[in-house]
């Protein structure tokens, strides 16, 4: 297995079937076209990262994250880890941990869209619930 940090949009396009699967399961409702427009520009930002795991030449997972370096709010913000195998998930966590450490970031945050997703993060990956996010339309 090899993991590569992606800086061009072409390899990201190969992840669209996985994103469609996520949407089919009701885990995200963002339009893929909007996500791709965002990623096209974000890939050039050194505080944004998109990594793909390959086995031979087949994609077996990917992760998306960004860093906040705002003083006293330094965070690794995890957007997505998509990998069905636990060893691939662990490798992504290691890559993200090293990236965060290289930038003096010691805290990771993520957002769970549903209660069941929050419980899964807590059970599977050792996340601790520290806040509840609220939203309203403006």
How confident is the model over 86-105, as pLDDT tens digits? 999 999 999 999 999 999 99
Sign (positive/negative) of CA torsion 35, 57, 98, 112?
positive
Domain at 2-125, CATH from 3.20.190.10, 3.40.190.10, 3.30.930.10, 3.40.630.30: 3.40.630.30
pLDDT digits (tens, 9 = 90+) for 34-90: 999 999 999 999 999 999 999 999 999 999 999 999 998 999 998 998 999 999 999
DSSP 8-state secondary structure symbol assigned to residue 68:
E
Structure tokens, 31: 């339009």
- C-alpha dist (Å) from residue 91 to 54, 63, 83, 96, 121: 12, 10, 10, 9, 17
- Rounded Cα gap, residues 22 and 117, in angstroms: 13
48 contacts: CB under 8 Å, gap ≥ 6: 42, 65, 66, 67
Q: Which sequence spans correspond to the domains of the chain?
A: 2-125
CA angle 18, 134, 35 (to 5 degrees): 25
pTM of the complete model beyond 0.85 = no
């Amino acid at each position: 297995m090899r993991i590569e940090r992606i800086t061009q949009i072409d390899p990201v396009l190969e992840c669209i079937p996985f994103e469609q699967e996520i949407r089919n399961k009701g885990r995200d409702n963002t339009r893929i076209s909007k996500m791709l427009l965002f990623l096209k520009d974000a890939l050039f930002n050194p505080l944004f990262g998109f990594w793909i795991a390959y086995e031979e030449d087949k994609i077996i997972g990917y992760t998306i994250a960004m860093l906040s370096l705002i003083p006293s709010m330094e965070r690794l913000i995890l957007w997505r880890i998509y990998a069905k195998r636990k060893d691939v998930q662990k490798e992504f966590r290691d890559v993200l941990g090293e990236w965060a450490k290289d930038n003096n970031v010691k805290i990771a945050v993520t957002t769970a869209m549903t209660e069941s997703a929050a419980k899964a993060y807590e059970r599977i990956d050792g996340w601790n619930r520290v806040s509840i996010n609220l939203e309203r339309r403006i």
